[in-house]
Amino acid sequence: MKSTALCFGLAIAAFVGWSLRSGTVQAAGQNEAAKPEFYTTKVQPIFQANCYKCHGGMNHRGGLSIQTRAGMLKGGHDGPALVPGDPAKSLLVRLIRHEGPANDPMPMPPKQPKLSDADIATVEQWVRAGAIMPEDAAKP
């Protein structure tokens, strides 16, 4: 009886320890995503390769510039593209997932394959962590 209880106790302890480590890893990932470097090394290259042609530099198709956080918060003709902290409410995330409104889905990038699941997850992680960009780091 004691050995059964001991084994059960060890199994629970191992599971709890695994759960705590998993949470720590996930929290550490979110902490990394809240740093400006996460944007410049992981998110910005995705935007440059897939989005800047239409929404960067002098091009602001749909009235949207994604080169600055202010531009994404202001949004374009369809309203704000970004809701920091909430990927589900961010139009940017819905469109790269190809989950836009049924009457005008606007899948992004248009006429190209959908972004990879890994790239979408990176953008979602960045948005969930507050969508921090380098110029935001200096602001209080």
pLDDT in tens, 17-68: 333 333 444 455 668 999 999 999 999 999 999 999 999 999 999 999 999 9
How many CB atoms neighbour CB 131 within 10 A? 24
The residue written with tokens 């600055």 in the block is 68
Phi, psi of 76, deg, nearest 5: -125, -150
pTM, 2 dp: 0.75
Model confidence at 133, pLDDT cuts 50, 70, 90, reads very high
> What are the tens digits of pLDDT across the range 90-120?
999 999 999 988 888 889 999 889 999 999 9
The Cβ of residue 91 has, within 10 Å, a number of other Cβ atoms equal to 21
AA letter at 81 = A
Q: Rounded to an integer, what is the distance from CA 23 to the centroid of its chain?
A: 18
What pLDDT is attached to residue 11?
40
- Per-residue pLDDT at 3 exceeds 50: no
Quote the CA–CA distance of 122 and 46 in Å, as a whole number. 9
Residue of 113, 109, 93, 101 lying closest to 51 (CA atoms): 109
Question: Which sequence spans correspond to the domains of the chain?
Answer: 34-137
- Across 74-100, average pLDDT: 95
